[in-house]
Amino acid sequence: MRSILVLNGPNINMLGIREPAIYGRETYEALLAYIQSAADALGVQVECVQSNSEGALVTAIQQAYGRMDGIVINPAAYTHTSVAILDALKAVALPAVEVHLSAVETREAFRQVSYAGMACEKTITGKGFAGYKEALEYLAQKS
């Protein structure tokens, strides 16, 4: 069975409260249930980690080395600022997919650069929770 780390960065734990016009009214707990249901349907194991701390996300990526088969990452605000997350993804060299709930490419200019995405095989934006399912499907089919 494939094992996939699902990482969520800052403020994702505030789903349902934070800017619902952009991120929707579903909660983080609902996202976790959605991810688990998608993983179960695909026959993959998931480990979900959310942190508002850049260092904790880097540590989670490093700890995936030798344990996980792939990474789904929504670096959230760290998308546009974290060379440390980019370097950690490059170091472990696991297949990774970047996911964003919103269509970041249509938002503010500063959101147009993704450091984490430079180490990802695929980026999925603007599909809400369904983006996570798409990312899991992509990683599940990799041999």
Residue 120 predicted with pLDDT over 60? yes
pLDDT 10s digits, 41-65? 999 999 999 999 999 999 999 999 9
How many residues are there in the chain? Answer: 143
Q: What is the pTM of this model?
A: 0.93
> Mean pLDDT over residues 121-137, rounded?
97
Domain regions of the chain by residue span: 3-140
- Biggest alpha carbon–alpha carbon distance for the chain: 40
100 flagged as catalytic: yes
CATH class of the 3-140 domain in this structure:
alpha beta
Per-residue model confidence (pLDDT) at position 106 = 65
In 10 A of CB 65, how many CB atoms? 12
Q: Return left, alpha or beta for 98; rule: phi > 0 is left, psi -120 to 50 is alpha, else beta.
A: beta
Active-site residue, selected from the candidate residues 23, 34, 80, 138:
23
Active-site residue, selected from the candidate residues 28, 78, 100, 115:
100
115 flagged as catalytic: no
